[in-house]
Amino acid sequence: MLAASLPTVELNPDLAPVAVVVWLHGLGADGHDFEPIVPELRLPADLPVRFVFPHAPEMPVTAFGGQRARAWFDFGLDGGADPAGLKKSASLVRDLIQNEIDNGMPAQRILLAGFSQGGVLAFQVGLHYPKSLAGILALSTFLVSGETLGSSETQANAGIPVFMAHGQQDAVLPMALGKAAFTTLQGAGYAVQWHEYPMGHEVCLEEIRHISAWLQSVLGSAG
C-alpha cells in the first residue's frame, strides 16, 4: 500500500486501533524485516495497535561500494550519515505520520520505532516533530542530532519516552555509539531507558519481551 510517498507494509489489529507504531528498518532491508516481530510482542487484546513498516527508497550506498540498496540515507565508509539524505527521509516519515493523523489517529498515540539506520531516522523525526508523539523505540542505533537537543525545535517532544537497546557484541554499530546517544539524551533530561544484550547487530527474544512491556506501559490500554 502507498501511504504518503513511501510504500508500506501494514498490519492492522482485529479491533479499531488505539495507537500506531511506525517501524523503520535498517540498511539493505525492507519493510518486511520486522513484520514477524508483531505476533512475538504478544500485545494484549485490549491494546489494538496498527503497525506500519515503510520501505526505504533505493539509492547507491557508499559503504556497499556504490551498489544500490534500500537506505534511509547514504552510509559512508566512516559510518557517517549523509545529512541531505537524512533530511529527505525525515520529510517522508513526517508525511507518513501526517497521513495517520489525517486518518484520525492523534499524534500522541503514534510511536516511532527504528533499527540501526531506521533508529537514526526515528530519533531525527521523533525528537524534532512539532507535535507530541507517544514514544521512540531505538534499537542498535546512534544519535546524530544531539547538538539541537533543548532547542525550540525539540520542545514539543522534550518529555517523550525513549527505549534504547543494543547488542554488546555489535560489530556493525559498536555499542559505544548507542551508549553515547543514551548519555546525551539522559543529560538533556529525556525519559530514556537503556538495555543491552549479549548479541550482535540483531534482536533477541529477551529484548522483544522488554519491548513489549515498554510498549504496553507507554501506550496503555484501550480504555
Task: Enumerate the domain spans of the chain.
Answer: 2-219
**Rounded mean pLDDT of 46-65?**
94
Name the phi and psi angles at 30, rounded to 5.
Answer: -150, -175
More confident residue, 212 or 220: 212
Burial state string for 194-217 with b = 16 or more CB within 10 A and e = fewer than 16: bbbbebebebeeebeebbbebbbe
**Rounded mean pLDDT of 3-24?**
91
Q: What was the pLDDT predicted at 145? A: 66
Q: Please write the tens of the pLDDT for every residue from 164-202.
A: 999 999 999 999 999 999 999 999 999 999 999 999 999
* Side-chain half-sphere CA neighbours of 136 within 13 A: 31
**Grid cell in block for residue 200:** 550482535
Distance CA 207, CA 197 (A): 7
Q: Position 138: which residue type?
A: A
When pLDDT is cut at 50, 70 and 90, the band that residue 86 belongs to is very high
**Grid cell in block for residue 197:** 544484550
Q: What was the pLDDT predicted at 153? A: 77
pLDDT surpassing 90 at residue 211: yes
pLDDT surpassing 90 at residue 206: yes
Architecture of domain 2-219 in CATH? 3-Layer(aba) Sandwich (3.40)
When pLDDT is cut at 50, 70 and 90, the band that residue 77 belongs to is low
Known catalytic residues are: 116, 170, 201
**Rounded mean pLDDT of 201-210?**
97
**Grid cell in block for residue 50:** 496498527
In 3D space, the residue among 97, 104, 93 whose CA is nearest the CA of residue 133 turns out to be: 97
Mean residue pLDDT of the chain comes to 92
